[in-house]
């Protein structure tokens, strides 16, 4: 059995290397093992992708410490043992949305523009006390948000055109014994900005991964459009 696991891990490692020209596999912390000095993870079985584009001088959703912050709102319908978040900018040239992927209107209007990019910085937060999918729009506007994690740079992702590994990735394990860190049904948001003070502009792809299927998960740029997407299903 151990030999089988070993050869399967080697296969995954080589397979990921072969497909690195598109996007590397999005892997979980759960079940991680180390082979020949390399961490080997099993790919997430559930991945949602969001293709976006921030135009120059776009109005941010919020300003903190002189930085412009933008949000993607996420509804998670059930408890999850782990959530992965990653963001890549610019979107690789050979990558385009699938039929189940989400797109910003600005991305659709600028889908061929893949030269502009930003040094990504991401965070993941939950709206405290917002567990009902019928009235979250009004409640979220005055909600307190609990920070789960944040990330700046990740060497697991492709380098940006500058050659710097400035794309972002984080994995969050649910802490069921800690209500503030448990990943439960509710409203969440991915915050993103640039590590350096200045403009956030260009194309990006944001992905959410989970080790089990989470049907009923939605991503949207605005709370209102998130509610519309949920009601239309």
> Domains of the chain by range and CATH?
1-41 (no CATH), 44-232 (2.60.120.380)
Between CA 104 and CA 221 the distance in angstroms is 7
Residue-level pLDDT at 4: 42
Residue-level pLDDT at 133: 84
Residue-level pLDDT at 120: 95
> Counting Cβ atoms within 10 Å, is residue 136 exposed (0-12), middle (13-18) or buried (19+)?
buried
pLDDT in tens, 167-193: 999 999 999 999 889 999 999 999 999
- Among residues 73, 66, 70, 74, which one has the least CA distance to residue 55? 70
Within 10 A of 46 (CB to CB), how many other CB atoms are there?
Answer: 17
Query: Could you tell me where the beta strands, DSSP code E, fall in 93-213?
Result: 102-103, 120-127, 145-151, 168-173, 186-194, 202-210
Least confident segment among 24-33, 137-146, 157-166, 180-189: 24-33
Between CA 75 and CA 110 the distance in angstroms is 27
For the chain, percent of residues with pLDDT exceeding 70: 90
- pLDDT for residue 22 is more than 80: no
Indicate the pTM of the whole model.
0.87
The answer to whether 69 touches 62, Cβ cutoff 8 Å, is yes
- Among residues 115, 119, 116, 117, which one has the least CA distance to residue 166? 119
pLDDT in tens, 76-113: 999 999 999 999 999 998 899 998 899 999 999 998 99
Structure tokens that stand for 84 in this block: 């992965």
> Counting Cβ atoms within 10 Å, is residue 133 exposed (0-12), middle (13-18) or buried (19+)?
middle
Residue matched to tokens 């978040």? 85
């Amino acid at each position: 059995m151990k030999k089988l696991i070993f050869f399967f891990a080697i296969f995954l490692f080589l397979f990921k290397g072969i497909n690195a020209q598109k996007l590397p596999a999005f892997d979980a912390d759960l079940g991680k093992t180390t082979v020949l000095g390399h961490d080997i993870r099993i790919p997430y079985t559930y991945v949602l992708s969001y293709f976006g584009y921030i135009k120059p001088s776009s109005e941010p959703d919020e300003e903190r410490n002189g930085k412009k912050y933008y949000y993607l709102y996420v509804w998670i319908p059930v408890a999850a043992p782990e959530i992965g978040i990653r963001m890549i900018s610019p979107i690789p040239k050979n990558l385009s949305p699938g039929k189940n992927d989400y797109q910003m209107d600005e991305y659709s209007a600028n889908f061929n523009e893949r030269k502009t990019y930003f040094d990504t910085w991401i965070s993941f937060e939950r709206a405290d006390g917002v567990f009902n999918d019928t009235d979250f729009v009004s409640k979220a506007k005055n909600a307190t948000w609990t920070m789960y994690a944040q990330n700046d740079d990740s060497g697991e992702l492709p380098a940006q055109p500058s050659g710097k590994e400035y794309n972002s990735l984080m994995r969050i394990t649910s802490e069921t014994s800690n209500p503030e860190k448990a990943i439960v049904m509710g409203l969440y948001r991915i915050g993103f900005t640039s590590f350096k003070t200045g403009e956030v502009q260009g194309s990006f792809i944001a992905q959410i991964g989970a080790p089990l299927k989470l049907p009923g998960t939605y991503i949207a740029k605005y709370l209102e459009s998130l509610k519309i997407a949920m009601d239309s299903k």
